[in-house]
Chains A and B, each alone.
Chain A
Amino acid sequence: MSEFGAFRPPPDILPEAAATRGRAGRAGRGRPAPGRPGESRWRRPGFVRLLGVVLLVLLWVYIAFINENVPGITEVLAFLWTELSGGSHGGMVLRGEFWPPLLDSLQRYAIGLIIGIPMGVALGLLVGASSVARGLLNDTTLALLGLPTVVWAFLAFLWFGLTDSGPIIAVVLTVVPFVAVNVSAGVRSIDRGLVEMSRSFRVPWPRLTGTLLLGGTLPSACTGIRLAFTAGWNSLLIVEWFGATSGVGWRARFWYDALRYPGFVAWVLVYVVLIVLLDRLMLRPLERRAFRWSERPVLVAR
């Protein structure tokens, strides 16, 4: 499988608990009889999920307690509030800044994605459809995909210095291979028989492209784009950490260098919240939409 399509995303939703619910199910943990009144709340999924998050927060509190370097949760939230409200950060003349770095980064991120995704799609279509292009570009793209992000970040910094282009180029370089790999896998997954059939039935090519190529490629392309969003954000942060004078990565580093760890952790929270929101509100629904056709049984539809 030394070829395009080797990159699969992690399954985003944990699978339902074992299908082996029959007698074999008892090979696992004991499953008490359902419907026992006293226990029902402890088994409600929403409650248990919340419990997981609460335990995570408790773990944080515990680590902050035993390690004096780790800021506590209240410190971090207070710091975040100062950043947000533009208040003063204590003795120095430092004022809170939240929107300028965030908007700077989002702008770079957006430009990088707008350049990178179409490039990746084009490259992926080319490599997926033509075996000559595949031979020419497959290995080299994979080699570039293999390069760790931090090295791209260093190179972008060396080449472009402290400008906006460094982070943008790094985003582009991360996004292109991710999208290309998945788009080409999508193209190659299209059933050859369907193509042949459409040819024999003389389906006009606009419709062939629209229905078959687009429909067949879309799910895997969407997965690639979703992965690219995460990876691009990741590399943007790395580049901004090492070589930028604005942006969220720079801000986190600023507080880290000033030994104000609450500031650093506050910004990490912002990173996580941002990428999770983006994923949940925009990318997942899109992906589900793209996958919809493949789940509907064709013969019984409507």
Chain B
Amino acid sequence: MSAVPSVAPDAISQLSAQELRRSVWRRWGLRSTVVIGWVVFVGVWYLFSSFLGQALLPPLHTVVNRAWELITEGGFGSNLISSVTRLVGGFLLALVAGTGVGLLIAYNDWWRNLLQGPLQLIISLPTISLAVMTLILFGISPLGPVLMTMLVAIPYITMNVAQGITGVDRKLIVMSEAFGRTRRQIVKDILVPSSILSTLGGARLAFAVAWRMELLAEVFASSQGIGFQIRRSFESYDTQAMLAWTVLFVAVMLLFENFVLRRIDRWAGRWRMQDWGANP
């Protein structure tokens, strides 16, 4: 709370009315810049498409039309389902494995040292080599993309779980033990709540990496799914379809990241807001 100015009540109400009006204006001004930004973006798109030609960069409305066609009759649903199934499979596996390894690393120096090299290697392998290795190892099968998605997601989850556990306030645990709390209570009320935010942050990052990996693996080693469709349109020089598939898939993924995952974050971070006020 800011300090209350010592002036007459009338003046306060007048002041706040004025400030309110100004802040409303400012908010609408900022909102309009976002709209203008998108308008400019669309304008630049049209400019480039007239400059490069329709075949190389189709105008936006044709891409939108094409996307709508793909949704209504082009099999977007079935391809999306097959991509998302693999993605979710790989991601859930990574979540389980990554959390396990993260716990191991957080509590044990030996395992941390052992796994440092392998985890760093996974992070520094270029995604293209992973995608090609999928093809070499598994051929064209649904298993390859699932495993590769899992592989790239694991380090991010592992590191964030380990960090979350390490960052738990030791004093709280010592205090709880002094007051005779059981281990179950400590885990449930201290360890899990204070490490969950870091874990979820890791999961969100891992998800962003995972769906891109999944897409690339499908480009190489799949006969269905969005990645495969993107590759097929690229190979037949159908830029319009390529962009339409991409835009649809990216939109779905970004919506998921920004609404579902973020909402879960907020739900998990509830305790923080309630207890100590709005921590930034």
Chain A residues within CB distance 8 Å of chain B = 1-2, 8, 10-11, 14-25, 27-29, 31, 42-43, 45, 48-49, 51-53, 55-56, 63, 67, 69-70, 131-132, 134-140, 143, 146-151, 154-155, 158-159, 230, 233-234, 237-238, 241, 249, 252, 256, 261, 264, 268, 271-272, 275-276, 279
Contact = CB atoms under 8 A, between A and B. Distances in A.
B173 A140 contact: no
Interface stretch (B7-15, B79-87, B88-96, B163-171): B163-171
B33 interface: yes
Given A8-B205, A137-B37, A241 B166 contact: no
A95 to B, nearest CB: 24
B243 to A, nearest CB: 8
B205 A136 contact: no
Interface in B169-226: 170, 173-174, 177, 183, 186-187, 201, 205, 212, 215-216, 219
8 contacts: A18-B107, A24-B170, A27-B183, A28-B106, A43-B109, A131-B33, A238-B126, A279-B124
B260 to A, nearest CB: 13
Nearest to B174: A22
Given A16-B166, A151-B230, A139 B34 contact: yes
A233 B124 CA distance: 10
A31 B31 CA distance: 57
Given A23-B174, A135-B33, A146-B250, 4 more contacts: A14-B119, A29-B107, A256-B132, A272-B124
A271 B52 CA distance: 33
Interface in B103-118: 103-110, 112-118
Given A151-B242, A158-B239, A69 B136 contact: yes
Given A10-B155, A18-B106, A135-B33, A271 B40 contact: no
A112 to B, nearest CB: 15
A154 B159 CA distance: 33
Interface residues of B, number: 78
B24 interface: no
Contacts of B34: 135-136, 138-139
A134 B30 CA distance: 9
Nearest to A147: B250
Q: When A and B form their complex, which 10 residue pairs have the shortest distance between CB atoms, in order from nearest?
A: A28-B107, A135-B33, A48-B113, A136-B37, A52-B117, A15-B166, A268-B129, A24-B173, A52-B114, A17-B109
B234 interface: yes
B109 A146 contact: no
A17 B237 contact: no
B273 to A, nearest CB: 14
B46 to A, nearest CB: 14
B117 A49 contact: yes
Contact of B124 (A151, A261, A275): A275
A155 B109 CA distance: 46
B177 A23 contact: yes
A48 B215 CA distance: 35
Contacts of A272: 121, 124-126
Given A20-B173, A25-B107, A10 B156 contact: yes
Given A2-B258, A45-B109, A51-B114, A10 B123 contact: yes
B104 A29 contact: yes
A11 B205 CA distance: 11
A69 to B, nearest CB: 5
A249 B126 CA distance: 11
Contacts of B32: 135
Interface in B16-61: 29-34, 36-38, 40-41, 52, 56-57
B125 A135 contact: no
A49 B113 contact: yes
A148 B117 contact: no
A249 B163 CA distance: 35
Nearest to B216: A150
Contact of A70 (B136, B177, B205, B237): B136
Given A11-B159, A17-B108, A146-B254, A136 B40 contact: yes
A52 B113 contact: yes
A24 B183 CA distance: 9
A155 B129 CA distance: 20
Contact of B38 (A2, A14, A29, A139): A139
A212 B109 CA distance: 39
Which of B107, B201, B227 has the most chain A CB atoms inside 10 A of its CB? B107
Contacts of A49: 113-114, 116-117
Contacts of A147: 246, 250
Contacts of A56: 117-118, 121
